[in-house]
Chains A and B, each alone.
Chain A
Amino acid sequence: METIDTKQDKSTPRVYMNAEENQFLIEGRSYMENPQVFYEPILVWMREFLAVNQKESVLELKIDYLNTSSTKMIMDLLDLWEKYFLEGKKLSIKWYFDRANDFGMETGEEYKEDYTLPFHLVEKEK
């Protein structure tokens, strides 16, 4: 599968999705005008990948800020991981947060409440 590697800017996170390396990362702040346009290709990629993946995989989210339309898109992504976890795949989430930013931490905690797959809240190293 082709690797997704987007450039990070003020309102767009870096997205790195590499099936071969088994690396899946979203990092930064997400408050672009049309999150649906940004995240839809990532969701398409992820559906395709999860359908064939046999490895143990971790989705790493290092997100400091999401606008409300982005929270919906991240939920759609987590729903996909949950779906395949429930089908028996070895999948988990690592949500990184900064102690000084309770916004990112609370967002992670609230997502965690809604899923059964392993969802780890990890404090970022300084």
Chain B
Amino acid sequence: MNISGLLELKSSLELDGIKICYVGPVSQGILQEIGESVKSSIETGADSSIGEKVFSVFVEQVQNIMKYSSEIEKSDNDTEIRSGISIIGEMKGKFYCVTGNKVTNQIVNNISIKLDKLKTMDKIELKNLYKEQMRKGPDPGSKGAGLGFIEMARRSSEPLEYHISKLDESHSFFALKIIL
């Protein structure tokens, strides 16, 4: 990169209240290191329950990148490692978690249907849906328990925001913001 632009980049990150911004391949190890250190830094400044909530949304977001991102690299021992962007910031006294990654258009269609439904639900409905889904088991094509987005919606204090940028016929870039 051209370092003459670094100050501008720094100022732009600060303007958005960004505390951590990670871009690139994510692994469980990276998730643990970033997650635990952000959690403890929030807990020293604020009450510990907000730290755990931010941590929870961060874990679900990053583990979604690890499962669904279409940007895949092979690591040294031949395991697949997937890439994305993950941000934790604080704005107007509220923490937020933003995530983004490339996904297939098929996945992104399913995600938007799911998220539009979650946006209309209140906390009690979300809790009931969580329990229902946990008992029902994952939907076909899900690589986890199918609970991540419901958990994020439950933790958010404002309606979740998402944005889809179509890249080509087969892929899109999916961005999601959760305000805690």
Query: Which residues of A approach B to under 8 Å, CB–CB?
Result: 10-11, 31-33, 64-65, 67-69, 71-72, 75, 100-103, 110, 114
Contact = CB atoms under 8 A, between A and B. Distances in A.
Contacts of A110: 127, 131
Chain B contact residues: helix, strand, loop or mixed:
helix
Contact of B63 (A33, A65, A102): A33
B32 A103 contact: no
A101 B55 CA distance: 12
Given A69-B144, A69-B145, A71-B147, A103 B56 contact: yes
Interface residues of B, number: 26
B151 interface: yes
Contact of A75 (B47, B53, B134): B134
A11 B49 CA distance: 18
Contacts, number: 54
A11 to B, nearest CB: 6
B90 interface: no
Contacts of B144: 68-69
Contact of B135 (A75, A100, A101): A75
B39 to A, nearest CB: 9
A74 to B, nearest CB: 10
